[in-house]
Copies of this chain bind each other. A is one copy, B any other.
Amino acid sequence: MVRAAADRPGLVGAVGDFLGRRGANITTLDQYSTAGEFGVFFQRTEFELPGLVDSIDELASDFEHEVAGPLDLTFRVVEAARRKRTAIMVSRYDHCLMDLLWRARRGELDIDVSMVISNHPDLEESVAQFGVPFEHIPVPRGGKAAAELSQLSLLAEKVDLVVLARYMQIISADFLEQLRCPVINIHHSFLPAFVGADPYRRAKERGVKLVGATAHYVTADLDEGPIIDQDVVRVSHRDDTTELARRGADVERLVLSRAVALHAADRVARLGNSTIVF
């Protein structure tokens, strides 16, 4: 993934040329520039290069000197075969968790699930069936800081991604800062509609005809982070709040799994508070 502060002639050619000279075969290339003279330029390139595993640091260093430095680009090179070490945090609802574990086992997601952390013990057995460690870290009233410390001791520098699969606790800005890896959350509404608690009850009260779900990166501003994916499902006056939540659950698990798949395949770039999804 390459990003330039300013779009300008020659960027695509420069990258293609650099890779071509090393014998890499570009198999997929996506590119996007925001409009205007001071547009930002994004490029995602998949390529095959025999022996890359051993020379990836050298390649990155060469790219920095020959291309990125002179052209003022920022970039990241990752080995596609290396799966992201992932922790899932969850409370009591199991639908998003089960879907992620099942898809990971099936090979649909480029992740290794390192552990599941929950503030409740309820889902231990369900997780055990997938051979994944389950860590129960209660969050008693007044004990959030201590709980976050325990969580961080399990997570920091040990995982590449944290997924909040209906984890019903607010994450502190401190935790995020010390974690130093991306966190993806599923919010059970079509954001920005029904920001905050109890969205299905409020959707019922407002009489909406669709309910939805939103997967987004977690930032210090609750429910305000960059959106990765969203979807909705049709409902009617016959559906009470419980039924809205049930129909919504199907959308939540689908949207969260799609967002994790996109992130794990390095298809998502952030631009301010929005995302570029290649």
Q: Is A112 an interface residue (CB 8 A)?
A: no
User: Given A12-B29, A240-B35, A192 and B194 touching (CB < 8 A)?
Assistant: yes
Q: Are B32 and A238 in contact (CB under 8 A)?
A: yes
List residues of chain B with CB within 8 A of the CB of A229.
Answer: 209
CA distance A227 to B193 in the complex (A): 14
Q: Are A232 and B210 in contact (CB under 8 A)?
A: yes
Q: Tell me how many chains of this kind the complex includes.
A: 4
Contacts of A145 in B (CB 8 A): none
CB distance from A221 to the nearest CB of B (A): 12
**Residue in B33, B191, B210, B237 whose CB lies within 8 Å of A274:** B237
Q: Is A116 part of the contact surface with B, judged by Cβ < 8 Å?
A: no
Interface size class of A (residues with CB under 8 A): 35 or more
Which residues of A (220-241) have their CB < 8 Å from a CB of B? Answer: 226-232, 236-238, 240
A250 close to chain B: CB less than 8 A: yes
Q: Mark each residue of chain A from 87 to 109: 1 if its CB lies under 8 Å from any CB of chain B, else 0.
A: 00000001100100010001010
Which residue numbers of A lie inside 8 Å of B, CB to CB? 7-21, 23-33, 35, 94-95, 98, 102, 106, 108, 129, 190-194, 205-210, 212, 226-232, 236-238, 240, 246, 250, 254, 271, 273-277
